[in-house]
Amino acid sequence: MRGRSLRGPTVALAAALAVAAVFAAAPADAARLTAGLGPSARLGQPSPIRLGLEIDDRPATLKRIELKFPDGFGISTSGLGIAACRPPAAVIRAIVLPNTGGLGGCSPNAVIGFGSALADVRIDTMTIPELADVTVLTGSVSGARKLRLIYYIDGRHPFGARLVFAGTLAQARPPWGGSISLVVPSIPTLPSGATLALRRIRVSIGENVTYRERRGRRRVAYRPRAVAVPATCPRRGFRFQARLVFADGYRTSSDAVVPCPRRAMAPRTRG
């Protein structure tokens, strides 16, 4: 990534963290993390990273999420996040915004990934599924080893609430390459006293992302490089971990292992 000093961490897990916060209600007994690479992934080559998080129901609200991921997965050598999204602090504190669409004035060149989420909307004794689109963007650099992230969540149906969250991506001690910690703020209730409970989140980083750059007098669309995959892989695969903390003190975690992809084919040499 241009002009960034951050090394190692990938934003892939950031997406799962922030969106879980958005629908901050109560997982219970277990959280199930899934992780994977693109279908044509090769060691040492860029690839999208796909993550999913399923959370069982729990009466206590979600307060904190920490995601850790292997060394070598990072955005520092990718083409992602060549712009910085800097929404006003008041916008982030407001949490619920009018559903006006767009990226709140941020450049599309700050987008690093897309996803979807499913939450339960509870009104009295009724439970209604709420679908939402997720967009993950890079913010400004905070210190030498931290990067701010912005998450726009657009509800589709039936309530269509729009939320904005800020997160931080940082390096972590070995054996991890990085971690994302997010303190979940209080989420305002929807009309009629409805509450939201996250049930599923799926995010892909570096997939179907399109940027524009100026070439002469024209602005040309192009696909940026995805997240770099390490050139070597542990025997048992790449391990990711999600940790969740709830208001009643309950803690749970889930690991996901990505099988080692094939090695990149060596270029043919002409005899």
Residue 177 lies in a domain: yes
pLDDT exceeds 70 at position 22 = no
Residue 17 lies in a domain: yes
Count of structural domains, the chain? 1
Q: What gap in Å lies between CA 165 and CA 114, rounded to an integer?
A: 15
User: What are the pLDDT digits (tens) for 38-86?
Assistant: 999 999 999 999 988 888 877 776 777 788 889 998 766 688 889 998 8
Cβ neighbors of 105 (< 8 A, separation 6 or more) are 87
Specify the higher pLDDT residue, 171 or 182: 171
Residue 268 lies in a domain: no
Residue 119 lies in a domain: yes
- Please work out, in degrees rounded to the nearest 5, the angle formed at the alpha carbon of residue 244 by the alpha carbons of 70 and 251: 120
Q: Residue 35: which domain range?
A: 12-261
- Closest by CA to 117, choosing from 78, 163, 76, is 163
DSSP string, 160-190: --EEEEEEEEEE--TTEEEEEEEEPPPPPP-
Q: Give the DSSP letter of residue 17.
A: H
Residue 154 lies in a domain: yes
Highest mean pLDDT among 50-59, 193-202, 220-229: 220-229
Helix (H) or strand (E) holding 112: strand 111-123
User: What are the pLDDT digits (tens) for 154-169?
Assistant: 888 777 777 777 787 7
- What CA–CA distances, in Å, run from 211 to 83, 217, 271? 10, 16, 39
Residue 81 lies in a domain: yes
